[in-house]
Structure 1
Amino acid sequence: MLQDVRAIRYYQRITDALTENWDRGYRLDELRLYLEGYLAALRHADALEPYLIHRLEEDVVRYLHDPSNFSTADPKPKVDYY
């Protein structure tokens, strides 16, 4: 569980972007590549301590593999009574 404020903000940004890209039609392999690039940029920029980036990666991967985060709501069929 993340407790650092900056790490939480990055988590929110990443998960929002993953959900948005999923809605655009990207799939898990492409989302994983996006995540790898994002984390590499964080490491390169020294935006967070390495252990925080590792925790961030663990939490985002857990989010990525949870199917309930990417399920689409099925509209209820309209029942016509005649």
Structure 2
Amino acid sequence: MTMLQDSQSVRHYQHLTDAMVDYWYRGYRFNELQLYLTGYLAALRSTATLEPYQVNRLEEEALRFLRDRSNFEEVLPEPEPDFY
């Protein structure tokens, strides 16, 4: 597995994944997140912000992130120890 290596692709990946998690906690679900991802990638393709191979790689990584349910599990804070 080759990770994203150029800084612009990494920034887009971080933005995408942060947004997907945020939207998940706002009540959006898989189909809606997939539509968001599709629209985001379409915008990147139409603006030629990234090279086509970079957009394809970003798409692969973002879909992998979206399909991993552990990315959308709420992390509960650890209970504080009782020292009494």
TM exceeding 0.5:
yes
CA RMSD of aligned residues (A): 1.5
Q: Which amino acid aligns with 1:53?
A: V
Stretches of structure 2 that go unaligned for 5 or more consecutive residues are 79-84
Shift of 1:72: 1.8
Shift of 1:9: 0.2
Q: Which amino acid aligns with 1:14?
A: L
| CA distance, structure 1, for counterparts of residue 66 and residue 57 of structure 2 | 14
**Aligned counterparts, 1:1-80, within 5 A:** 1-73=3-75
**Quick one: percent identity of the two aligned structures?**
55
Scaled by the length of structure 2, the TM-score of the pair is 0.86
Stretches of structure 1 that go unaligned for 5 or more consecutive residues are 77-82
| 4+ aligned runs moved over 3 Å, structure 1 | 73-76
Q: Which amino acid aligns with 2:37?
A: L
Scaled by the length of structure 1, the TM-score of the pair is 0.88
Show the counterpart of 1:80: none
